[in-house]
Amino acid sequence: MKCLLLCSILQNIVSLKSSSSVSINCPIISIPSAELWKHLSCNNEIDASWSIKNLYHYYYKTSGIPITFDTLHHSILHDNLSEEDAFNLAYETWNTTPIFHYSEGKNNTRAHEHMATNLPPTYKDVYWDVELKGKDYAILEMLNKCKM
Q: What is the CATH number of the domain that holds 107?
A: 3.20.20.150
Q: Is residue 50 part of a domain?
A: yes
Indicate the burial class of 73 (C-beta count within 10 angstroms; 0-12, 13-18, 19 or more): buried
What confidence tens digit (pLDDT) does each residue in 126-148 have?
A: 999 999 999 899 999 999 988 75
User: What residue type is 126 in one-letter code?
Assistant: V
User: What residue type is 42 in one-letter code?
Assistant: C
What whole-number distance in Å separates Cα of residue 44 and Cα of residue 22? 19
What's the gap between Cα 107 and its chain centre? 21
What confidence tens digit (pLDDT) does each residue in 38-89 have?
A: 777 877 766 667 899 999 998 899 888 899 999 999 998 899 999 999 999 9
DSSP state of 60: I
Give residue 57's pLDDT: 92
Which residues pair with residue 70 across a beta bridge?
Answer: 101
pLDDT-derived band at 8 (thresholds 50, 70, 90) equals: very low
Torsion of CA 26, 52, 61, 93, to 10 degrees: 120
pLDDT at position 29 over 60: no
- Structural domain of residue 76, as residue ranges? 43-147
Instruction: Tell me if the pTM is above 0.85.
Output: no
Q: Is residue 24 part of a domain?
A: no
